[in-house]
Amino acid sequence: MTGQLAPGTRVRVRLDWPETRGPCHIRTPYYVRGQEGVIHRALGRFRNPEKLAFARPAEELALYHVRFDLRRIWPEADADLLVELFESWLEAA
Amino acid sequence: MILKDLDERDILNGLRALLAEKGIADAAEIAARIAATDAANPGQGAAMVARAWTDPGFRALMLADGTKAAEAMGIPMRGLPPLGVLENVPGLHHLVVCTLCSCYPRAVLGYPPFWYKSAAYRAKAVRTPRALLREFGTELPADIAIRVVDSTADYRWMVLPERPAGTEGWDAARLAAIVREGDMIGVTIPSV
User: Which residues are CB-contacts of A23 (< 8 A; sequence separation ≥ 6)?
Assistant: none
Mutate to test the interface with B, among A38, A68, A82, A87 (most CBs of B within 10 A): A82
pLDDT at B33: 86
CATH number of the structural domain spanning residue A66: 2.30.30.50
Task: Give the tens place of pLDDT for each residue, A22-44.
Answer: 999 999 999 999 999 999 999 99
Q: How far apart are CA B81 and CA A80, in angstroms?
A: 24
B147 to A76: CB separation less than 8 angstroms, yes or no: no
**Alpha carbon A93 to its chain's center:** 13
Residues of B annotated as part of the active site: 98, 101-103
Structural domain contains residue A65: yes
Question: What pLDDT score does A33 carry?
Answer: 98
CATH hierarchy code of domain B41-185: 3.90.330.10
Can you tell me the mean pLDDT for B163-190? 97
pLDDT tens-digit series, residues B14-53: 999 999 999 999 999 999 888 988 989 999 999 999 999 9
pLDDT band of residue A63 (cuts 50, 70, 90) is very high
Q: Is the pLDDT of residue B6 over 90?
A: no
Domain that holds residue A51: 10-92
pLDDT at B116 over 80: yes
What is the average pLDDT value for chain B, to the nearest integer? Answer: 95
| pLDDT of the residue at B153 | 86
Nearest partner of B161 among B61, B86, B109, B108, judged by Cα: B86
ipTM of the shown complex: 0.96
**How do the domains of chain B map onto residue ranges?**
3-38, 41-185
pLDDT of residue A2: 76
Range list of β-strands (E), chain B: 83-87, 92-97, 145-150, 156-160
Distance between CA atoms of residues B152 and A85, nearest Å? 8
Tell whether A70 is within 8 A of chain B (Cβ).
yes
| pLDDT of B123 strictly over 90 | yes
Give the pLDDT mean for B77-96.
Answer: 96
The total number of structural domains that make up chain A: 1
Name the minimum distance, in Å, from the CA of B86 to any CA of chain A: 11
pLDDT confidence of residue A1:
76
Residues 132-191 of B with CB under 8 A from A: 145-155
Partner B contacted by A54 (CB < 8 A): no
Q: Residue A55 pLDDT more than 90?
A: yes
> DSSP E strands: which ranges in B2-160?
83-87, 92-97, 145-150, 156-160
pLDDT at A8 > cutoff 90? yes
